[in-house]
Structure 1
Amino acid sequence: MLEQYAETAYMGKQDAKFRDEIATDERDSMYCRYQSKQALFPRGSVLGHCFDSSQTLFYKDNLNGSAEDCRSLFEIDKKLKLAMNTIPANFIDFIISSWVVLHLINLWFIIFIPSVAFALGATTLALDFLLVLVVIWVISKVMSLMVLPFFRSKYNFTVNFNRLNGIVKVPSSNAKDFEVAPFEKFNAHYKVQNNPKSGYPYRGFSLLHYKYSMRYAKTYANQITPALIHWELLQNFMDVTKPLADIPQFEYYREFDKTTAEFDKANGRPKYFWYRVDKSFLKEMNQADDELRKEFIDEEQLNNLLTGKPIKKLTPPDIFKFPWKYADNIKAESEIKFGKTLWQKFTSFLMVDL
């Protein structure tokens, strides 16, 4: 049955027989048994672009050096590898992710709780709270500097996508090794998880190997559109027959990929465009994305996905394919500046050193 499922799934078909009956007893992971029965995301283009609001963050990270730090941290030094964070897949990953969240919550408490106490006139109590919370922050910060380098060197926490050979590497359950498989042997299945307190749904997909318990998962707040965009992004990165999407996240890779470099040269694209364009241009890209999404009714297309009906396909405007043709302020290469602002350095210092 696994082989029959693979043949239908890879063709992007919604064969209910195989979706409902697949691998009930053949998978080690209960999670994968359940997820493999969920609706399949279609292969290929739906919205037709990979740009969304998250690209603003990648734009900033490119210029302040954070993106380069991440590539070094996860040893993405072979040009065409993409390291992606996923929902924690093992205990160590869960502990570190929880640590980051708790550290951030403590920072908010340092600001909020003493401020409220001061406002209520409880000065002594406010100072006591401030002292305790600052001590907790110091301990967490020092531990991050001492402990996290050890974890980085010993454990794997990201799913790695390799455009050069089409291989996906997923951290093993012990986080010490990688499980390896071709991208084409993964399918994107609908995923929803609910906040246990509010019941609020987070929708997305689990990228599952058709046979083995290897996965990569993403969810977004109550919408299927961002998940479709991210699914198209992964497909685009792994499809060597097409140039990379023209987004800040992929700027670093463009010159190393033959297909993309030939496309850029043929169309006169400015080299290092997303390092040189003014950040105000991101507003134009986001506006174009907003306008395109008006044609894509999220709930309607989610229903189509879940019932196996065709999802509406959009034709994006050229600004997504040739953004440099729509940008007014493009600096000279010699004017490219990298490095964090003072505020970025300060906020980085406050956080745990990941």
Structure 2
Amino acid sequence: MFEKNSIRFYKSNQNWSDDVAFCRRSGLVKSFQGNFPFYEFDAFIEMAADMKGNQRHTLKVRHRYPQFSKDKHSGLPLEFTFPTDTGSIAERYAMWDMLGRYMDVSQPLPDIPRLEPFRHLDPTTKAFDEAGKRGRPATYWRDLYANASEKELKQWREEHRKLVDAAPWGSRPDLMAQSVPGYGDSYTAEPEDVNAYSRFPNKSDRFVERADAKDASPQNKRDGH
């Protein structure tokens, strides 16, 4: 029922639009300003502060060449804002990681609840699951949510947040720097704990050099989102 109703929702929802979409199959990002390759977009984290000095961080994905995609009326560059749970900066890194993996057809779909009903519709993911590489039942997330209590779900969410915060985001390779001349010349290192961006630098914060893309192992890529 979960799978059937989820697919029915996406097919019949009259408010759903194909005019704005991240298309895994074609590799294009569709917008009202036109369609552009996903690899032409850069991610950044925007920080805003309220009157009391409290910080709010938002993941944004912006087209690198605004002269071809800016809005004709406002003149603003084409960009998308991705909401995430209130939490650490690392969660914004994880969201960008998930979007990149979603658009990479050489990898299976990210193993998250929202995409589970559609795994069999994606050729790469279907082959991955049929080969037994997923290591989970086809209805893993559906059954987990059906059988877990709210207390258990809350505990698992907290454990997952800790895993996301502990992931070595700052030392991951910058793949964009390998293809865009001069892109990586401005800096080569990030804080070992990317959440340090939300506070003033202090002596306890350590910086780590970025790894080369060729040295990165696909096995180091994180499951989930």
Q: TM-score, normalised by structure 2?
A: 0.59
Asked whether the equivalents of residues 292 and 316 of structure 1 are also in contact (C-alpha less than 8 Å), the reply is: no
Identity fraction in percent:
24
Secondary structure in structure 1 of the residue aligned to 2:43: strand
Counterpart of 1:55? Answer: none
Aligned equivalents of 1:227 and 1:294: distance in 2? 10
Q: CA deviation at 1:274?
A: 2.2
Counterpart of 2:25? Answer: 164
Asked whether the equivalents of residues 194 and 200 of structure 1 are also in contact (C-alpha less than 8 Å), the reply is: yes
Task: Indicate whether 1:295 and 2:162 are aligned.
Answer: no
Secondary structure in structure 1 of the residue aligned to 2:166: coil
Counterpart of 1:258? Answer: 123
Asked whether the equivalents of residues 49 and 56 of structure 2 are also in contact (C-alpha less than 8 Å), the reply is: yes
Aligned equivalents of 1:282 and 1:67: distance in 2? 24
Amino acid at match of 1:300: A
Alignment of 1:184-195 (within 5 A): 184-195=39-50
- 1:223-263 CA-to-partner distances (Å, cap 9, x unmatched) read 31121111011111100001111110111220011111111
Aligned equivalents of 1:248 and 1:239: distance in 2? 19
Alignment of 1:163-312 (within 5 A): 163-172=24-33, 179-195=34-50, 197-212=51-66, 213-218=77-82, 221=86, 223-267=88-132, 269-277=136-144, 278-280=146-148, 282=153, 285-293=156-164, 295=166, 297-300=193-196, 310=209
Tell me which structure has the larger Cα radius of gyration.
1
Aligned equivalents of 2:87 and 2:156: distance in 1? 23
Amino acid at match of 1:162: C
- Shift in alpha-carbon separation, 1:290–1:216, aligned structure 2, 3 A: closer
Q: CA deviation at 1:285?
A: 4.3
- Shift in alpha-carbon separation, 1:180–1:242, aligned structure 2, 3 A: same
Aligned equivalents of 1:260 and 1:231: distance in 2? 20
Q: How many residues align?
A: 170
Asked whether the equivalents of residues 90 and 165 of structure 2 are also in contact (C-alpha less than 8 Å), the reply is: no
Amino acid at match of 1:166: G
- 1:314-350 CA-to-partner distances (Å, cap 9, x unmatched) read 9688xx47xxxxxxxxxxxxxxxxxxxxxxxxxxxxx
Asked whether the equivalents of residues 61 and 80 of structure 2 are also in contact (C-alpha less than 8 Å), the reply is: yes
Alpha-carbon RMSD = 4.0
- Shift in alpha-carbon separation, 1:236–1:252, aligned structure 2, 3 A: same
Q: Give unmatched runs, 5+ long, in structure 1.
A: 1-61, 75-151, 173-178, 322-354
Secondary structure in structure 2 of the residue aligned to 1:252: helix
- Structure with a larger share of its residues in helix: 1
Q: TM-score, normalised by structure 1?
A: 0.40
- Structure with a larger share of its residues in strand: 2
Secondary structure in structure 1 of the residue aligned to 2:131: helix
- 1:170-228 CA-to-partner distances (Å, cap 9, x unmatched) read 234xxxxxx21111111112212333x44432212221111122211135546311211
